[in-house]
Amino acid sequence: MIEITLTTIAAYGSFLAGEHLGFSGVIATVVAGMLCGNYVARTGMSPSTRIAAETFWEYVAFALNSIVFLLVGLHVNMRELAATWLLIVAAYAAVTLARAGVVFGVLALERWHRREPWPPSWSAVVTGEACAEASRWCWC
């Protein structure tokens, strides 16, 4: 529990220190998280403590993301959103098509460099997974 408390203090303290010194508090927190998650977790935590800390931070991320989506949902004006539905659908289609182009293009180039290239059907799966992931976040 002490290690989890120290990671929480590191996250919040780095934000405050960064803001106080005139830097980005968010970037300072990201750097502190990377240090705690990579270096400190390997050298200063036992495996059970590492699992507990990862579980704690996973829950915190889930809870804060849920709160952000709820606050955005409460702020959205449904009439304005409904008036721009065609633009939203067009943007979604454009992003999905662009992703499919990148995935198929990169995997086509990758076939020349690997002895055992990925099957072409995996391109569709990767693109479809992006669509499933996007729809999961859109309906939260």
Q: What is the pLDDT of residues 93-108, one digit of tens each?
A: 999 889 888 887 877 7
User: Can you list the residues of the chain whose pLDDT is less than 50?
Assistant: 134-140
Query: What's the number of domains the chain is made of?
Result: 2
Q: Of 75, 90, 112, which residue constitutes the final position of a domain?
A: 75
- Strands (E) in the chain, as ranges, are none
| Residue keyed to tokens 């293009």 | 105
Q: Of 28, 55, 75, which residue constitutes the final position of a domain?
A: 75
Q: Structure pTM?
A: 0.53
Both tokens of residue 66?
A: 């849920």
Q: What is the pLDDT of residues 44-62, one digit of tens each?
A: 778 888 888 889 989 999 9
CA–CA dist 77, 88 (Å, integer): 14
